[in-house]
Structure 1
């Protein structure tokens, strides 16, 4: 599947950082638990996201040929002061700028170590785009704020997630994703539009729906396979694109009312329990 252009990822990272900073400075309780990542507070979530950016920035800037331990990454944990929204915001702003600058300077084809065997700066531009795309959803939902994302970014995030599950199945035989096998079972993701809000109360006005996006995931004995398309399947997850994205990333409950499940719900639940990352 063709990914987005490198500059598009860089632009999106910069945009997402601005959006996440708006959550940090919104007055939201930084100590509050993030429902979709219950082991973290909102502040810990932001520090995790910024820390990942700091690590990748160092990888890309130094053209690393191997992994860099976290203890060698300056300020990976964020500002010393805890509960200080202004300090956290300043650190996040600096961090995002550093990463975008490093990625733009490197270009998509620069050789950089990665855990996925795709050793380019372009891999990291895409990975960090979707790292913050999903974690910003965690943050905004925790803060009780509306969330949306550009349709092409949401669709590419689903593509990347499916590629990660494929990779884990190939390289980590003991991972729960390895159980996603077996003939005759399939999942159809049917996203009905690109401007998907999470509830009727949050809907904007005057925004026409974008074209739909659809995926077919087949579970075979040798591993899962996927493609874009519209076909009959064992189970269908249907709804606005943003809602489908968040449900597929386990950020939105299947019974939220924002998505519809048709067919064998148990298969979709089986997938969601086993398609994990990190």
Structure 2
């Protein structure tokens, strides 16, 4: 299993932001975002751009704790945005973040990270995929088609699995212990990727922790489909019924897992 390079993560922060700006250029930014209840598209973009600037300051200043984030959590003041001005603002912040990450390098101790002991690579990867998924939120809200390079989608699914299975997730979300039980395994199989990409995931809930691995194995339930569809389903951006996927086996287990393991 190979991650994307550090430079690719930095590049994707800008690339995904540029694609998002293209998608909203002539759009009605007051359109609601079903996957982010309470927000319209303009507020979603404000949230993302605020996140870029928040992380840029953390990395640049080597902050020892999380910085205040109210400015991109309370979005009540951003209900009617101008697409051109908002797009320029988003691209500016994405460029600043990518530039600061490049200057730091992949192994820099950037101070505080949500997962203790991580380096600047954590932030580069996290915000490459944060930007990707929020682009999906906006694109889908506007009724447009969402596409992404296969290797980026595969890495985003890997990151989702890695973060979602951290032991401390039980501290943050005690209800996730309900996922564990005998016979509870799920298999995700991307049908449109090259064989060498190994784009198959086995989620194992049979032990005392949430576990996963890249593997082609039988499971209680299997989900097969294009990797972009798997990405949207796992991230809760598209329902199983609306996605171009095939479900084989225990559908109730799949729904239970998706309902208890949201992220991003």
Same structural fold, with TM-score higher than 0.5 when normalized by the shorter chain: yes
For the structure 1 residues 185 and 80, does the alpha-carbon distance in structure 2 shift closer, same or farther, using more than 3 Å as the test?
Answer: closer
Q: 1:19 to 1:185 in 2, by over 3 A?
A: same
* Cα shift readout 1:153-212 (whole Å, capped 9, x = no counterpart): 101111111111112655516433222211221000011114xxxxxxxxxxxxx99966
Unmatched 5+ residue regions in structure 2? none
Contact 2:18 2:91 in 1 (8 A): yes
* CA deviation vs aligned residue, 1:127-153 (integer Å, no higher than 9, x gap): 001101111111111112211111111
- The residue that corresponds to 2:6 in the other structure is 6
Distance 1:210 1:88 in 2: 40
**Is 2:102 aligned against 1:104?**
yes
Distance 1:177 1:51 in 2: 29
Q: Distance in 2 between matches of 1:12 and 1:190?
A: 24
Give the 3 Å change call, closer, same or farther, for CA 276–118 of structure 1 in structure 2: farther
Bigger shift: residues 84-93 or 163-172: 163-172
Contact 2:179 2:205 in 1 (8 A): yes
Determine the structure 2 residue equivalent to 1:139.
138
CA distance, structure 2, for counterparts of residue 61 and residue 54 of structure 1: 10
- Describe how 1:32-47 pairs up with structure 2 within 5 A: 32-47=31-46
Alignment of 1:173-184 (within 5 A): 174-184=173-183
Equivalent position of 1:28 in the other structure:
27
Q: C-alpha displacement at 1:120, in angstroms? A: 1.1
Contact 1:193 1:211 in 2 (8 A): no
Counterparts of 1:63 and 1:179 in 2: how far apart (Å)?
Answer: 37
User: Equivalences for 1:236-255 in 2 at 5 Å?
Assistant: 236-255=222-241
**Greater Cα offset, 174-183 or 45-54:** 174-183
CA distance, structure 2, for counterparts of residue 57 and residue 41 of structure 1: 25
What TM-score results when the alignment is normalised by the length of structure 1?
A: 0.87
Distance 2:10 2:243 in 1: 34
After TM superposition, the structure 1 = structure 2 runs for residues 126-275 of structure 1, keeping only pairs within 5 Å, are 126-167=125-166, 170-172=169-171, 174-194=173-193, 213-275=199-261
What TM-score comes out, normalization by structure 2 length?
A: 0.91
How many residues are matched?
262
The question of whether the paired residues in 1 share the 8 Å contact of 2:236 and 2:262 is answered with no
Whole-angstrom CA distance in 2 between matches of 1:187 and 1:18: 35
